[in-house]
Amino acid sequence: MLKRSIALFLYLMLGIVGTGAQASPLKPTLDKTLSNGMRVLVFENARAPTALHMVWVKAGSIDETNGRSGLAHVLEHMMFKGTKNLAPGEFSRRVAALGGRENAFTSKDYTGYFQQIHKDSLREVMRLEADRQRFLKLDEQEFKKEVQVVMEERRLRTDDSPAALAHETLLAQAFQASPVRNPIIGWMNDLEHLSIADVQDWYRSWYAPNNMILVVAGDVKADQVFAWAQQFYGPMPSRALPKRKPQEEPDQNGLRRVKLKAPAQNAFLMMAYKAPTLRESLGPLLPSATPARDLVALDVLSALLDDPGTGRLVRRLVREERIAVSVGTDTDGVSRGPGLFMVQATAAPGVALSTLETRIKEEIAKIAKEGVEEKELQRVKRQAKASQVFRQDSMFSIAMESARLLLAGRSIEDAERWLAVLDDIRSEDIQRVAKQFFVDDQLTALEFEPLPLAEAAARPKPSGTMRH
């Protein structure tokens, strides 16, 4: 998850609504499970005559095995290529004819499918979605065409994008055993050797109702939605799921450094420190739990460093010393796998990347030694709470984050608990995480050296249509 400030992070993650001093937790109108294991969440919101329908499958790139990277994403593409009852592309055409829009997305942890439509069309899109979740037709000729589209997507969005290519390279260096090291879109060689049998096996293995969450939000009636869920999704048979192996990352005991060259305008630095994520093994989100305090304190620290108006790294590197064009930080947030605290800085012309790295480490070391002023901490907390007001305007974010918490093995109530921990975060918490996590033995650094852009212009440009 990308985060530019603690306010934005909580806006996207917490699912808090309301304008009063006391926030209400993210709470669905209905939370029930079908007899086949599919969990159904409904959020009633009558502010507009629309409905959002989402199906989440707990299967992403973290579940892929060696030689099959990109498989979850390829199947996502194939989900639009027809069923026993619909021709290729007909699903999208029918949703468009209803005046709606639809798409899908793949992450490390899950694959999601959604439609946004007028509330009167909800029953029909539920029928359509249930059809492809159960009766997808995986045709080899369609697969051969679509995997070429995915390969072109990779060329355009990763191979020809310095930032994306650097991020992919950094992850592959930072992690050795965990599958989070593999790109969601897949390694090119794996894509070239995927088969229709691989896709069929993935669909049979993971696309079962007991591995899915259905989320509906908008101007709907919860009981009616659940009745339709029983009608359309209820007949899907549950299945035994493949056993997930832990694949835990071994401890890192020394600095890792990698250099990358590609056509671009500016040199930049990426620094990645091992950091916790909000996953099942973290334990309870309580003010009394140190792992919970660490998780929240790291995100507070991120905001303190890169807030566009007052962030310490922004102020020093960009405004005062003018040695960086930009600087930003990021934490991984909710995830089933291990995570990183990332710092990225783009160098001003003539500035060595080693200079940026030194300055960044100095600022973090200063916080570890001196802590932060109370007014800085209170500002971050006020930003977080103010973001709650805007949360109620986004059905998509509410639906999305409720499912993400559940798929990571967490509880929806973690939204409220996060705020309770945030309220109790103190300067000593920020000092502790700055000392504990920001050490060279836990650091992977990438130095990006730009090559002349003429080399990029000489490359053939990809063609074709990409869904997202």
To the query of whether residue 76 is one of the catalytic residues in this protein, the response is yes
> β-strand 324-331 against 268-275: which pairing, if any?
unpaired
What DSSP string describes 157-169? IIIT-HHHHHHHH
> How much of the chain is helix, strand and coil, in % rounded to 5?
45, 20, 35
Q: Residue 324 — φ and ψ, nearest 5°? A: -130, 145
Name beta bridge partners: 24: 17
- Catalytic residue (one of 64, 76, 376, 416): 76
The two structure tokens encoding residue 336: 């089933």
Question: End-to-end distance of the chain based on CA atoms, in angstroms?
Answer: 17
Cα–Cα distances (Å) from 224 to 35, 40, 230, in that order, read 17, 12, 10
280 CB neighbour count, 10 Å cutoff: 9
Report which of 271, 208, 217 is spatially closest to residue 239, judged by C-alpha positions.
208
324 three-class SS: strand
Q: Buried (b) or exposed (e) across 66-96, using 16+ Cβ within 10 A?
A: eebbbbbbbbbbbbbbbbeebebeebbebbe
124 three-class SS: helix
449 three-class SS: strand
Cα–Cα distances (Å) from 85 to 88, 90, 123, in that order, read 10, 10, 17
Q: Which amino acid type is present at position 64?
A: E
**Rounded CA gap, 136 and 83, in Å?**
4
**Rounded CA gap, 256 and 281, in Å?**
26
Q: Residue 125 — φ and ψ, nearest 5°? A: -70, -30
Name beta bridge partners: 213: 39, 56
Give the residue numbers annotated as catalytic, written as ranges.
76
